[in-house]
Structure 1
Amino acid sequence: VTQLWMEHPESIREPKQLAKMWRWCRRVSGKSDRRKALDADVIVSTSGMLDGGPAIWYANRLRHHSANAILLTGYQAEGSGGRLLLDERKLRIFGNVTPIDLEVEQFSLSNHAGQAELVTFARACAPRHVVIFHADGEGREALSKQFANEMKVHLPTNRTELLLI
C-alpha cells in the first residue's frame, strides 16, 4: 500500500516525508525476518484487532519485557482480542487467555466510516438486507434502528452462521 501511495503522491499530504520514512522500514517476509524484528524499536503488524496473525506471535514474544508496549491504532470490537486486552489486560495467545502486563494504549487512527457515513452508503446501495456485525452492542442497536423501516436488519454474533437468500 505504501508503494502505491508513493506512486501517487497527489493522494497523500506529505509524499516526501513518507518516502523519507519508508527508507528506514524493514519489511518482514518470513519467520527469520520476524525473529530479527524482535530487536526493532517499533513493530507494525497485522491483525488490528489481535485475533490472529503476526501480532499474536509478536505479543507472545514481547510480553515478558516491561519496556515494551502495545499500541492499538483503531477500533476494537466487542469479543475481539484487542477489546479483551483493553478491558482486562489479557490476550488470547494460541488458545490460552494470557495476562499482559505491558503498557497498552489505544489511538484513534481508524479509517473506518462513522455511523452517518455507513447509513448514507447503505441507503445509496438500496439493499434488501443489511448485516451489522463489526460494532459494539449500543452502536449495533442504534445503527439497526436507522434501517428498521427500510430493509431487513441482521445482527449476528461471533461464530454465528447467517444465510441470506
Structure 2
Amino acid sequence: MYLILASITDPIVNFAVGVVGDLGLVGVFVLMVLESACIPIPSEATMLFAGFNVAEGEYSLVLAVAVASVANLVGSWIAYGVGRAGRVDLIEKHGRKLGISPKHLETADRWFQRHGDATVFFTRLLPIVRTFISLPAGVARMPFWRFSLLTLAGCIPWMLMLTYIGVKVG
C-alpha cells in the first residue's frame, strides 16, 4: 500500500520541489494558487521546500509566508467562484439527477450561515480538506468579503507552520 501511495505522490512532490527550486517565490505563488484551486499539488511539499530556501537565505520567512498566503487566497477565490457558479449551472438545474433537492440546498445554506465562519477558518488549518472548503462556501453563497478574510486568516498559520518546519529541517 505504501509503495502505491509513494508512486503516486513522489512525482508530485518532486515536481513541487523542482518548481520552487527553479522559480523561487514565483514558483511558490503558482503552486499555491493551483493547490487552493483544487489541483492536487501538496502545500506541504511546496512550503517545506520554501522553508529550506529561507534557511539558505534566498528570501525571508515573512515574505515566503506572505506570498503563499496571498496565493492561497487567489486560488481559493477560483474554487469559490466555481462553487458559486456551479450551484446555478449544475446543482440547481441538474441536482435532482445527482440526488440533490432544493431542500438539501436550503439545509446546506442554513448550516453554512450558522457555522460557515468557523468552518472556513478552521478547515484552513487541516490537510486535504483545507483545499476543498472553498467549493461549498461558494455553493452556499457565503459573502465573498467574509470568505476572503477568513480564508486569509486561516492560511497564514498553516503557511507559517509549514515554512518554519522547512527552515528548521533545512
- If the length of structure 2 is used for normalisation, what is the TM-score? 0.30
Q: Per residue, is there more strand in 1 or in 2?
A: 1
- If the length of structure 1 is used for normalisation, what is the TM-score? 0.31
Larger radius of gyration: 1
Q: Per residue, is there more helix in 1 or in 2?
A: 2
The answer to which structure, 1 or 2, has the higher relative contact order (CA under 8 A, 6+ apart) is 2
